[in-house]
Amino acid sequence: MPKISERGSLMPASPIRKLVPFAEAAKKRGIKVYHLNIGQPDIQTPDVALTALKNYNHKVIEYSHSAGNESYRTKLAGYYKNLGIDIDCNQIIITTGGSEAILFAFKSCLNPGEEVIIPEPFYTNYNAFALDAGIKVLPITSDINTGFALPSISEFEKAITPRTKAIMICNPNNPTGYLYSREELMQLRDIVLKYDLFLFADEVYREFCYDGAEHFSVMQMEGLEENAILMDSVSKRYSECGVRIGALISRNKTIMSSALKFAQARLSPPSLGQVIGEASLDTPAEYFKNVYDEYIARRNFVIGALNKIPGVYAPMPKGAFYSVISLPVKNADHFCQWLLENFSYENQTVMLAPASGFYATAGSGLNEARIAYVLKLEDLKNAVKCLEEALKVYPYTINPAVHNTAKN
């Protein structure tokens, strides 16, 4: 039998989705599974988007321009200008989800064998995209005891080698929910300029910043006009994960010219998705206020409830709708699978994403898991109760009294 490629063998399985077969088996046994493993909001998509889809009456669904419809890019540039990001439609390429934006950025800016530094834990698919592009991720570990704040700049400097070409952040962060401050970003700007690096910023959770905190974009920093590359998406902002529309944005003409060639090779981004994305820009402010209030309620409940469980520590997220939590278990991968295979409470269980898959450093995050508080409060209450009861009977727990001191 012919062998598959080394690249195919090395491609990491998603920690978010790899337990899906066990969840499906549990459901077939009649068990209710609460999905806290995946960032799929249950928030309704804006009416303006659904109306645009219903009213679509073209007789042929055609290719769009490879960079995306000009009408959409022009309107999207207006959205960014309202945020204090002064760009035009020629500095935007519409992509098939934020994922393609990341891949285009990697392939346009780094040669195979070159390196990108990323604070970990990080969105697991960054590793997959790096492998696809033939580049190497250099992880710098952030600490749950600081809420996963940006590691010290000295750690970045120690990691830089002659093959390092870029630093990447997600802000607000998936999987930790941490929101990088203006001061932290300015420190990154200085090191990027010092070593002549690119700064990639995944800002898809921009609208989800809490407790009065404001989002500060890499595109708002002076001096990074040639260095900053922004990746964005409609998926979480408008609860349109299945639309698969994202954007790659930069003022660097050479990068955008290169990325456009990759965009041409895949022909065009989804035409119907662009119709939905363009209409979504007319979403009223009241929609975002209601979504914000809902996520604040969910966050405050779930973090408070988790921290009451002996041995569990959940940092308070400043943004997005995730938290990486510490569990009093020896191996969170085993525990998360056990929850689906061997446990139920009142015919219910909970699905988490083991955090080890969000780290590139081997052996990290073994007793951590990511939760996504994307379910309504009633479901979150049931899910947390399942987790609490599971930890009472799971056979491989660590003494909660000595497990974690972060919340003390």
Mean pLDDT of the residues in the chain: 95
Coil vs helix vs strand at 88:
coil
Confidence of residue 398 (pLDDT cuts 50, 70, 90): confident
179 with 319: CB under 8 angstroms? yes
**Per-residue model confidence as pLDDT tens digits over 368-391:** 999 999 999 999 999 999 999 999
CB atoms within 10 A of CB 153: 14
Angle between helices 332-341 and 377-393 (to 10 degrees): 110
Q: Are 191 and 119 in contact (CB under 8 A)?
A: no
For residues 46 and 285, is the Cβ–Cβ distance under 8 A? no
Helix, strand, coil percentages (3-state) for the chain, rounded to 5, are 40, 15, 45
What confidence score (pLDDT) does residue 8 get? 84
* pTM of this prediction exceeds 0.85: yes
| Residue 13: pLDDT over 80 | no
Domains of the chain: residue spans and CATH: 6-44+286-403 (3.90.1150.10), 47-280 (3.40.640.10)
